[in-house]
């Protein structure tokens, strides 16, 4: 199967593949020890293939080949100039705040109503009753960040 992409589309594809690889690699690294190999090479194979075609597509200036292992990678300059680093930092920040809000809201919801009562609620009622806890934490972090969080 062959895909026709403009130079701009291929550059966008490289960015998307890089970001997807970054997410997958982060998750895989978390789930394995240092000496354990990648658990799923399908992702790495696609990354390698898309990156290795960059020169043929006219974007060889943004992909380099590692001299030690022969793996293609995006240049540091391209990562920084293209905004990829900023996008990934914004993503990490958003995931952090959303996860923190969701977990604290759910904890408080459980403490307030108890598992038994919650298990008997219809989904609509659960959402309605958990939303104020979510809103409380979202407001707190919006106004104060982590300043008021203490143990």
Query: Does residue 1 fall inside a structural domain?
Result: no
What confidence tens digit (pLDDT) does each residue in 84-99 have?
A: 999 999 999 999 999 9
Give how far the C-alpha of residue 130 lies from the chain's centroid of Cα atoms, to the nearest Å: 26
Number of domains in the chain: 2
Residues 114, 73 within the same domain: no
On whether the CB atoms of residues 51 and 73 are closer than 8 A, the answer is yes
Residues 16, 35 within the same domain: yes
Tokens of 30: 């978390």
Residues 29, 63 within the same domain: yes
What confidence tens digit (pLDDT) does each residue in 24-62 have?
A: 888 877 665 555 555 568 888 999 999 999 988 899 899
Q: Is 57 exposed, middle or buried (0-12, 13-18, 19+ CB in 10 A)?
A: middle
What confidence tens digit (pLDDT) does each residue in 103-132 have?
A: 999 999 999 999 999 999 999 999 999 999
Query: Does residue 151 fall inside a structural domain?
Result: no
How far apart CA 134 and CA 131 sit, in angstroms, is 5
How many CB atoms sit inside 10 A of residue 47's CB? Answer: 21
Query: Does residue 29 fall inside a structural domain?
Result: yes
Domain assignment of residue 75, given as a range: 7-82
Domain end point (choices 57, 82, 107): 82
What pLDDT shows up at residue 103?
A: 98
Query: Does residue 17 fall inside a structural domain?
Result: yes
Residues 75, 94 within the same domain: no
What pLDDT shows up at residue 34?
A: 55
Residues 108, 55 within the same domain: no
Domain end point (choices 82, 100, 118): 82
On whether the CB atoms of residues 72 and 54 are closer than 8 A, the answer is yes
């Amino acid at each position: 199967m062959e895909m026709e992409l403009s130079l701009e589309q291929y550059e966008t594809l490289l960015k998307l593949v890089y970001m997807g690889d970054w997410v997958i690699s982060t998750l895989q690294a978390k789930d394995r020890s240092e000496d354990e190999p990648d658990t799923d090479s399908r992702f790495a194979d696609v990354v390698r293939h898309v990156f290795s075609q960059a020169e043929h597509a006219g974007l060889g200036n943004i992909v380099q080949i590692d001299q030690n292992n022969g793996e293609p990678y995006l240049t540091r300059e391209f990562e920084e100039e293209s905004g990829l680093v900023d996008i990934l930092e914004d993503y990490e920040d958003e995931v952090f705040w959303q996860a923190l809000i969701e977990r604290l809201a759910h904890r408080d919801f459980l403490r307030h109503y108890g598992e038994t009562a919650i298990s008997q609620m219809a989904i609509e009622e659960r959402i309605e009753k958990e939303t104020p806890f979510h809103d409380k934490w979202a407001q707190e972090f919006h106004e104060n960040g982590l300043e008021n969080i203490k143990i």
